[in-house]
Amino acid sequence: MSYKPETKAIRTQTGRTQEKEHSTPLFLTSSFVYDSAEDMAAAFADDSLEVNIYSRFSNPTVDEFIDKICVLENAEDGIATGTGMAAVFSTFMTFLAKGDHIISASAVFGSTHTILTKYLPKWGIDYSYFDMNKPESIEALIKPNTKMLYVETPSNPGLDIIDIEYVAKLCKQHNILLVVDNCFATPAVQQPINFGADLVLHSATKFIDGQGRVLGGVVVGRKELIQPMYLFVRNTGPSMSPFNAWVLTKSLETLYVRMDRHANNALKLAKALEGHAKITSVKYPFLETHPQYAVAKKQMSNGGGIVTFELKGGLESGRKFLNALQMLSMTNNLGDSRSIASHPASTTHSKLSAEEKAAVGITPGLVRVSVGLESIDDIVADIMQALEKC
């Protein structure tokens, strides 16, 4: 019988044990035992043998989380990591080597930007940035040694969107690996593999957890690409803990319901903010004023849970706005059940130079709101009163 994705998110489970549990148990163990010395020797002799050895290598709870993401993203296989940044770094380190070149959207998360600009060059890996609003500029950046194209869509925090299908066709023409960070959309909203992406990654810390509890990352794609990534994670150690995997796999059971509510609230907030006297612009993927609105409608089932707007007063107005909030949380996380406001120019992207901020769309008055699951009336009221005070 063929089930819908939201059903698979609930019904994909580790095989039931002899205890006949209904909810999957947490396999909180560092290692696993063998029936014989021969079985133990065989487990270590063959890297591809599907047997649990040590929870840094594999764990049934972690495997269930990976299996669910694979089902939702239409992927063959995957690996889970301790954080989203471990997923990003493991992807780069598995497929890039000295002398290689990577093309990345300039609009990427601050820590990803740091890896690209500070660490990869130390190991002889070159990078080039492109403007997501100008995808036609990508082809001119391709070199004979270009091995990967990396993009977030929607991007953090600017909500830039790119046509995944267009970029995928370009990458296939030049034999380049297309990696898509799908964190802002989640698999409930967008499935990049269906549009031609080779690998899809997430910071599971965000909407996949959905309640701001645990850290985690995941990468999914074709089996032949995941196998070398599995060996990298197995040997270098950024593995996901079984406890975090258990929290995340339970969270996936409500992902579709939550993302519908996040998106519904976010669209209402974006519309309420349009034309406000203290704001120069509002950005949300499903607002018709978004530059890539048509692309968003093509590849996303809703606009996601993030809204950004630009305050007229710049940096100082951003600080005043945050200080005036009464209900919204002031934190650097996102994707929580609780609404969160942040000011990237003074926090997550503060280490970037003025030129770098401008290149990635971080303007002085940019405010990012991760719209939560509270009453939309309460969310709007808190933001409106804070705007009056900034």
Order across the sheet with 77-81: list the strands. Answer: 77-81, 217-221, 199-203, 177-181, 146-152, 101-105, 126-130
> Do residues 310 and 281 lie in contact, with contact meaning Cβ atoms separated by under 8 Å?
yes
Structural domains of the chain, with CATH: 5-254 (3.40.640.10), 255-389 (3.90.1150.10)
Query: What integer pLDDT is reported at residue 49 of this predicted model?
Result: 63
Contact (CB, 8 A) for 263 and 286: yes
pLDDT of residue 114: 92
Phi then psi dihedrals of residue 266, to 5 deg: -65, -40
pLDDT at res. 182: 98
* pTM for the model: 0.95
Radius of gyration of the chain from its Cα atoms, rounded to whole angstroms: 21
pLDDT value at residue 354:
81
Contacting residues for 234 by C-beta, under 8 A, at least 6 apart: 56, 57
Listed as ranges, residues in the chain with pLDDT below 50 are none
pLDDT tens digit string along 69-106? 999 999 999 999 999 999 999 999 999 999 999 999 99
pLDDT of 358: 77
